[in-house]
Amino acid sequence: MRRLSTDAAELPAAGSHAVGSHALGSHALGAGRAVVGCHAVGSRADGARPDGARPAGSRAGGSHAIGSRAGKSRAGRSRAPGSERSEQAPAGRAVLARRPLLILAGLALLTTCEPPRPAKRTPQAAPEPEGAASALAEPSAVPGAKNGCPPQAALAREPEYYLRQGPRTIALTIDDGPDPRYTPAILDILARHGVTATFCMVGQNAAASPELVRRVAAAGHQLANHTWSHPDDLAKLTADQIQHEIELANRALHDATGVFPTFFRAPGGAFTRTALATCARLGLEPLAWSVDPDDWKRPGTDKIVDTVLRTTRTGSIILNHDGGGDRAQTVAALATYLPRLLDSGYRFANPAPSAPPAKAVPPAPSC
């Protein structure tokens, strides 16, 4: 019996928690079998004495056994004298033969009893800040897209507010034309002082005066897209309407000159997310400004001159208008402040396009 007891004692206790009266779904295998299972939630293994000692040849695998049958020797069976030795070898062989099965079952219990692990979560992109510019990519192709709007990681190019072409270099932009009354007068002033400017033209006006568009381009000035009809607020338009506004203006400028514009200026500077995405998709760069004398409000010639001279710095982009109403004050102000800026050491240059985007930009939703 010692060898059988020793073999049983060497059996590993597999598993973590067992529930029920059977270990691994089977009866205890006899006096020498280890109970493979988990901690007991009930009575001690049958046959254990009140003082805590285990019967010889039995071992409870784990800490405690659950139920009444695990760990029992075949109670109630009588043995003939001398039968212990004759049964010893077969019992030992049975235990040894079942040992691999018990080990495998114990490993299965370990897996079964292990608490479930939470599924890994894909990190989500941080939510986009309020009022940020639009996305370059379609939301379905961008991780972290939320509510149909792409995240911060795919934003379109920011509008250009400052010129970056060296010290004392500034830019002049003229909006809302061309206008047959004021655009020729402004062209004459610019030619007199050797200044080039960027004319942000409304498509309808360009289509109505294509010869004036050609005259502006022939004088070396830059043309920019300022939408087709100059809507008050691009945010109130759908994505299709915004694209229609920009594409029609592009076509009008191309029809007049044979060249597509490089820059786009949103009416009122309202660069919506969708407008920025549309610009990027069409190869247009958003152009803003940093000096605004509110000349379109006609505050007076002196007020326009004072604001321009007081706020212009290296890199400033000045906003003036040649269309959209009476622009006599703007014409007079230009004739006054242009020579003063030149005498102060400033030089004028047109905004230059930056490097193209790394990849093509698909449509974006209206956000």
What does 153-185 look like in DSSP terms, one character per residue? GGBPPPPB-B--SSTTEEEEEEES---TTTHHH
179, 226, 321, 322: which is the annotated catalytic residue?
321
Q: What is the dihedral of CA 189, 191, 196, 201, to 10 degrees?
A: 60
| Tens-place pLDDT, residues 16-71 | 343 333 333 333 333 333 333 333 333 343 444 444 444 444 443 333 333 333 33
Give the closest residue to 295 by CA, choosing from 267, 327, 323: 327
- Residue 353: per-residue pLDDT: 87
pLDDT value, residue 102: 65
Mean pLDDT, all residues of the chain? 71
Q: Which residue has the tokens 């956000």?
A: 367
Q: Which residues contact 228 (CB under 8 A, 6 or more apart)?
A: 202, 203, 204, 244, 245, 246, 248, 249, 252
d(CA 367, CA 130): 11
pLDDT, tens digit, 9 for 90 and up, residues 133-188? 333 233 333 333 344 343 333 346 899 999 999 999 999 999 999 999 999 999 99
- Exactly one of 175, 176, 179, 295 is catalytic; name it: 175
Residues 6+ apart with CB under 8 A from 227: 202, 203, 234, 245, 246, 249, 266, 267
Stretch 214-233: mean pLDDT, rounded? 97
Region 78-87: mean pLDDT is 43
- 348/196 Cα distance (integer angstroms): 7
Angle at 59 between CA 57 and CA 60, to 5 degrees: 155
Check if 7 is active-site.
Answer: no
321 is known as an active-site residue: yes
pLDDT at 115 over 70: no
| 3-class state of residue 148 by DSSP | coil
pTM for this model (two decimals)? 0.58
